[in-house]
Amino acid sequence: MQGPATVPAVPGLAAVPTFPIASDARLAGDSRQTRFILDLDKPVQFRAFTLADPYRVVVDLPQLNFQLPGGVGTAGRGLVKAFRYGVVMPGGSRIVFDLTGPARIAKSYVLEAANAQPPRLVLELEQVDRTAFVQALAPESRPELRPAIAEANAVTARPEERAVSPAPPQTADKRPVIVIDPGHGGDDNGTQAGGADVMEKNLVLTFGLSLRDRLEKSGKYRIVMTRTDDTFIALADRVKVARSEGAALFVSIHADALPRGEGDAQGATIYTLSDKASDSEAERLADVENKSDAIGGVSLADEPTEVADILIDLVQRETKTFSNRFARILMNEMKTTVRMHKHPLKSAGFRVLKAPDVPSVLVELGYVSNKGDLEHLVSENWRNKTVGSMAQAIDTFLAKRMVTAGPGK
């Protein structure tokens, strides 16, 4: 998670909306009671909940324009060791507090502007013992029930934690969630061709939106996009979108390019996660993609705690098995309509595929460095056919998985 982030304007798109501004944040109190205050320019709705192992408090908010002073959150106080913040998905922000020990959310509320004070979000934490902390967690977040995925699903805030004027309760959407992740964005253009006129970030965004529209028409799934415009999203935050949504599938969309002098390659390739790359080309591509954060200004040295947890959890065999199964299904569907790479299934250590509890693949639609592939990538007819084959693969995979998992999985 990162600090202040701005959303760049995109030519030809509607003007970027004005997001609420967070101008300052501070902690007060001691190791028994600690208060967090966030200054805003307008009241917002939010939800707050706790997570175990390690002890954390999470606040989910609408997308904010963070204009906090430099260094805010690095020094803790009382029950809070430190906190971090950022935009985790288009339309959504998150603040994560690392706690010194178990604590409960005693109160959480938004104050209207008054007495020359701006609107404020206030979180009041109280020290509790381990037993009380765990009992306060939602069942799906309790470590004894789901030890490997304590952060997998966002929980519904308890009544005393709800924001001012909460929305009326709605029936839970039971449909499987599919997260579509158009690669790159913002300052990170990805690969480029045609004198830089054709950028990977735009090609894959157009493709991702087309895939979203096709899947939504079926009504069988709830689709979440990691980005819907020319926004930079950190790799770790893309992973968090999949985990926080409890996604049934994560599909990252990219387009490759070979450096000059390294020959020619063509066709689509489907990648899954592996600690050891399947070949030198897969290793090269993973190295390039994993540097996207550096291009977008994210410090790779300041990896959040949750991401370190994710790296440890990668040994989850079931998820890797499902990822490989979907990759094979996708290859079989795509090869009937799309030119595939001579070695269409590969694996490497892509950071964006590192959600331990979400089957994930990265699809390279083709090579912008190959004239034939580039003609396909900018073709609406080709895009429609490819979207159709991917949608069919998703139908096949999730139909089989739902049968295997049984009701309520």
Among 176, 230, 179, smallest CA distance to 400 is for: 176
The residues that bridge with 23 in the sheet, in sequence order, are none
DSSP category for residue 274: -
**pTM attached to this predicted model:** 0.55
Of 295, 309, 290, the closest CA to residue 235 belongs to 290
The string over 356-368, giving b where at least 16 C-beta atoms fall within 10 Å of a residue's C-beta and e elsewhere, is bbbbbbbbbbbbb
Give the model's pLDDT for residue 195: 57
- pLDDT for the residue numbered 185: 87
- Find the helix or strand (DSSP H, E) in which 240 lies: helix 235-244
Q: Find tokens 């028994």 and name the residue.
A: 32
pLDDT for 230 equals: 87
The structure tokens listed for 405 are 């998992």
Q: What pLDDT was estimated at residue 102?
A: 92
Q: What is the pLDDT of residue 257?
A: 83
CA neighbor of 353 nearest in space, from 277, 239, 269:
239
How confident is the model at residue 260, as a pLDDT? 61
pLDDT of residue 317: 64
What is the pLDDT, as a whole number, of residue 282? Answer: 65
Q: What is the pLDDT of residues 210-254, one digit of tens each?
A: 999 999 999 999 999 999 988 888 888 888 888 888 899 999 999
pLDDT reported for residue 263 = 60
Q: How far apart are CA 118 and CA 110, in angstroms?
A: 11
Q: What is the pLDDT of residue 278?
A: 63
Element (H, E) at 130: helix 130-136
Cα separation, 337 vs 339, in Å, equals 7
Report the pLDDT value the prediction gives residue 358, as an integer from 0 to 100. 87
**Roughly what angle, to the nearest 10 degrees, separates helices 380-405 and 317-334?**
140
User: What length is written for the chain?
Assistant: 409
| Mean pLDDT in consecutive groups of 10 residues from the start of the chain, 409 residues | 42 57 95 96 91 87 90 92 84 89 93 92 94 68 41 34 41 84 87 74 94 94 92 85 90 84 78 77 68 51 42 54 92 93 87 81 91 91 95 92 51
Per-residue tokens: 392? 């069919």
Q: Residue 211 has what pLDDT?
A: 96
Query: What pLDDT, on the 0 to 100 scale, is given for residue 154?
Result: 36
Give me the pLDDT at residue 328, please: 95
User: Can you give the pLDDT at residue 291?
Assistant: 62
Angle at CA 278, nearest 5°, toward 274 and 283? Answer: 80
pLDDT at 162 (0 to 100): 34
